[in-house]
Amino acid sequence: QLIDDIRKCNIPIADGKTLTQAMHSNGINMRYLSEIAERSLASENVITPNGTTLLPPMPQSIYELCEIEMIARSIKWIIRRSRRKNVAVRQTPASFIASLLNNTFQNSVETWNEICEHVKDHYNNFQIKIWGSSATMTNRAFPLALLRRICQISGIVINAREYKFDQEQKPAESEKKQDVIVQSDTIFKVTDIADVVPVVKSSIPEWPITEARDCLETAKVHLAQKEFVKAYERANEALNLVTQVTGSAHLTVATCCSFIGTILHHL
């Protein structure tokens, strides 16, 4: 059902965070990311027997987001493990994080073997296709999107500047330090790591008014049944309710506006 909703644009997926929220709201554990990824890839270009393409096709970004999410979670696990085992990493995490990011984006074989192994173990033997030293779909790699999600999920704050991701790894110039390979020609410097902050789940309810959430859920049902006018009315009601409570600058307002845009797209 989630795959169908994404294909029909009933659920807007913009990044790894919204993908995670969509899976959780549908009662799907994150270990099934691999299933979402494989079905998304298979649904990108579905051809019927008469040679026509089934519409709507799955956006290519969904598969890419699934891989990014699995990789970012694996890197978070590597950071947590290193912090537990290595006192130096706990005391001065910036050098370790900079080295790990360099190894990730400069395709260190050792680092990517570890990432791929973690992905296989935790996501049903999933094979990464876009990223890493043995990738087969590198033309679909967007380094900034991966970097953003790694920072989000691991609590890393980096300085804003233009990072040159096209630098290649030079194994001959590498040296072993803190269980990672440190490059002489690096994308990230230690000074680029501005801070590392804890990532916690908020205790604030996602919807400040449950009536608005119920209205939006009803609108989704109407949209699935192609009752666009009713869907628009209920979504607009949800928008009015949350705006009265929170004002216009709130995530739920953006959610309602996004869904109204989806409805108007179908009209």
Band of pLDDT at residue 51, cut at 50, 70 and 90: low
Place of tokens 């079905």: 39
pLDDT value, residue 177? 44
Q: Encode pLDDT of 22-37 as tens digits.
A: 898 888 899 999 999 9
- Interval 77-86 mean pLDDT: 94
Q: CA 260 to CA 232: how far, in whole Å? A: 6
pLDDT value, residue 114? 95
Answer whether residue 224 shows pLDDT above 60: yes
**Count of CA atoms in the C-beta half-sphere (13 A) of 114:** 20
Q: CA 18 to CA 146: how far, in whole Å? A: 15
pLDDT value, residue 229? 93
In terms of residues, how long is the chain? 267
How many other CB atoms are there within 10 angstroms of residue 245's CB atom? Answer: 15
**Residue ranges matching CATH 1.25.40 in the chain:** 205-267
How is residue 98 annotated by DSSP? H
Q: Return the CATH number of the domain spanning residue range 205-267.
A: 1.25.40
In this structure, of 48-57, 92-101, 109-118, the range with the lowest mean pLDDT score is: 48-57
Omega before 56 cis (within 30°)?
A: yes
pLDDT value, residue 206? 78
Q: Encode pLDDT of 149-195 as tens digits.
A: 999 999 999 999 999 887 555 543 444 444 444 445 789 999 999 99
Residue type, 146: L
End-to-end CA separation in angstroms for the chain: 22
Phi, psi of 7 (to 5 degrees): -65, -35
